[in-house]
Amino acid sequence: MKKRTIQALGKKELENKRALVRVDFNVPLDEDLRITDDTRIRAALPTIKYLIVQQAKVILMSHLGRPKGKVVEKMRLDPVAKRLSELLGQEVKKVDDCIGEEVEKEISTLEKESVLLLENLRFHPEEENNEEEFSKKLARLADLFINDAFGTAHRAHASTFGVAKLLPSYAGFLMAKEIEMLSKLLEDPETPFVVILGGAKISGKIDIIQNLLNIADKILIAGGISHTCLVAQGYSIGRSLQEDYDLEIVRKILKQGGEKLVLPLDYIICRTEVSEKAETEIVKISSIPAEGIAVDLGPESLALFEKEIKKAKTIFWNGPVGIFEIDKFAQGTNQIARILADMKGRAITVIGGGDSVAAIEKAGLAEKITHLSTGGGASLEYLGGKKLPGIEVLPED
């Protein structure tokens, strides 16, 4: 898939022009409203810096959290403006709304090479409802639109879809790279192609399993979604996490996938509380006790997964393989991260957002991964064969 990108724009097209850029600055904040992970901000820097060099007037818009159409003070973008100023080495002005006379007045005074950050888009219910009038108010702020927010591309919102219909529109560098990398997985992966899927809910992974069964050589299934698969096969999983899902659908997929689908052989379990203090033991999948709770992959499972991963030329990973939030049960997830990092130079490695990216970042291995996707949900829907509104609306190259 080829979309018209920001590279089509030079100084001639951008100098003194107002460039409205949809970025994904939905970053985690602690109780003191300090950013705990600025990955998404740093991911947008190439597009922002390019626009500055081409002497455009840069207007950034993003959401943060889920304010549900109301102003929520702790979800204002002031901490983002501060961090972005530090990363760019220049002041990033911030306004307290994303539409209206005050915003338009501020934009009218912008000089070329300056950067302005609009307030949280989702303070307005019209944003998520993709209301045309709201899209028009946003479009009125600029001469052109650039979407660099892959993480929201699976949503048809005013700032990702509506505005793109009203202004000359382009994909930013981050968006273009996401499309390029994920399209390659679907259209031309170097084989063997191995997929690793973890996480809690199988409902969010069914489409990707079905779609990639025709493309991948192996799909390794772990985490909560493996529990559902084992129940569908008749195993007892004790008190382990299991989503309430149609097991007949799971059985059909398992039958269809055959040897392509690889399930765990053993788990690390605990019998009482799920905490750092819990006593653990290793059990086969056929021997999980009634009070047992699977918290991580067992050593046999990890060895099996490692064997399959090391054969691969292309690898996609989404979702932790254990209860990643508790350090004691993050060993399997961390081991998968290390195995993928060791594949540098031998395989293309793509990690699809969320906790998988967090594991790589925490381990300091990000530079050894070919591509870290900024959109967990968006990457899953893309690889599941769905059309993403925020991408589809952008003109073809």
Specify whether 200 is located in the same domain as 171. no
In angstroms, how far apart are the furthest CA atoms of the chain? 69
Specify whether 35 is located in the same domain as 145. yes
Q: How confident is the model at residue 2 (pLDDT cuts 50, 70, 90)?
A: confident
Specify whether 228 is located in the same domain as 156. no
Report, as an integer, the average pLDDT of 175-182.
95
Q: Mind giving me the DSSP string for 273-340?
A: --STT--EEEEEGGG--TT-EEEEE-HHHHHHHHHHHTT-SEEEEES-SS-TTSGGG-HHHHHHHHHH
Confidence (pLDDT) at 236:
96
Buried b (16+ CB within 10 A) or exposed e, 22-60: bbbbbbebeeeeebeebebbebbeebbbbbbebebbbbb
Choice among 40, 137, 155, 218 that is catalytic: 40
User: How far is 219 from 217, CA to CA, in rounded Å?
Assistant: 7
Q: How confident is the model at residue 375 (pLDDT cuts 50, 70, 90)?
A: confident
Choice among 49, 271, 328, 377 that is catalytic: 377
Specify whether 251 is located in the same domain as 356. yes
Q: Is residue 396 part of a domain?
A: no
Judge whether residue 183 has pLDDT over 90: yes
Which of residues 152, 177, 202 is at a domain's end?
177
Can you tell me whether residue 131 is helix, strand or coil?
A: coil
% the chain with pLDDT above 70: 100
User: How far is 336 from 352, CA to CA, in rounded Å?
Assistant: 14
Choice among 201, 260, 310, 368 that is catalytic: 201
Specify whether 173 is located in the same domain as 194. no
Which of residues 177, 212, 245 is at a domain's end?
177
Query: Phi and psi dihedrals of 391, rounded to 5?
Result: -95, -45
Specify whether 167 is located in the same domain as 242. no
Contact 203, 243 (CB under 8 A): yes
Confidence (pLDDT) at 363:
81
pLDDT tens, residue by residue, 297-324: 999 999 999 999 999 999 999 999 999 8
User: How far is 144 from 174, CA to CA, in rounded Å?
Assistant: 17
Q: How confident is the model at residue 362 (pLDDT cuts 50, 70, 90)?
A: confident
Which of residues 148, 177, 206 is at a domain's end?
177
Active site residue 40: yes
Specify whether 372 is located in the same domain as 291. yes
User: How far is 252 from 232, CA to CA, in rounded Å?
Assistant: 10
Report, as an integer, the average pLDDT of 269-282.
93
Which residue has 């979800």 as its token pair?
75
pLDDT tens, residue by residue, 49-103: 999 999 999 999 999 999 999 999 999 999 999 999 999 999 999 999 999 999 9
CA distances for 276 relative to 70, 294, 333, angstroms = 38, 14, 16
361 or 332, higher pLDDT: 332
Specify whether 258 is located in the same domain as 151. no
| Full domain range(s) for residue 309 | 189-383
Report, as an integer, the average pLDDT of 328-347.
94
Choice among 354, 375, 376, 384 that is catalytic: 354
User: How far is 86 from 121, CA to CA, in rounded Å?
Assistant: 23
144 or 36, higher pLDDT: 144
Confidence (pLDDT) at 171:
98
Q: Is residue 397 part of a domain?
A: no
Contact 24, 62 (CB under 8 A): yes
Specify whether 43 is located in the same domain as 151. yes
User: How far is 227 from 223, CA to CA, in rounded Å?
Assistant: 7
Q: Is residue 111 part of a domain?
A: yes
Q: How confident is the model at residue 27 (pLDDT cuts 50, 70, 90)?
A: very high
In the predicted model, what is the mean pLDDT of the chain? 95
Confidence (pLDDT) at 85:
98
Q: Is residue 395 part of a domain?
A: no
Lowest mean pLDDT among 120-129, 170-179, 217-226, 354-363: 354-363
pLDDT tens, residue by residue, 239-254: 999 998 999 999 999 9
User: How far is 179 from 182, CA to CA, in rounded Å?
Assistant: 5
Specify whether 141 is located in the same domain as 194. no
Specify whether 78 is located in the same domain as 44. yes
Specify whether 363 is located in the same domain as 284. yes
Domain count, the chain: 2
268 or 358, higher pLDDT: 268
Q: Is residue 328 part of a domain?
A: yes
Q: Is residue 158 part of a domain?
A: yes
Q: Is residue 394 part of a domain?
A: no
Confidence (pLDDT) at 308:
97
Active site residue 17: no
Q: How confident is the model at residue 364 (pLDDT cuts 50, 70, 90)?
A: confident
Q: Is residue 391 part of a domain?
A: no
Determine the straight-line distance between the first and last CA of the chain, rounded to whole angstroms. Answer: 9
Judge whether residue 354 has pLDDT over 80: no
- What CATH code is carried by the domain that includes residue 320? 3.40.50.1260
Which residue has 């292309």 as its token pair?
314
Active site residue 201: yes
Q: How confident is the model at residue 374 (pLDDT cuts 50, 70, 90)?
A: confident
Confidence (pLDDT) at 397:
87
Confidence (pLDDT) at 193:
98
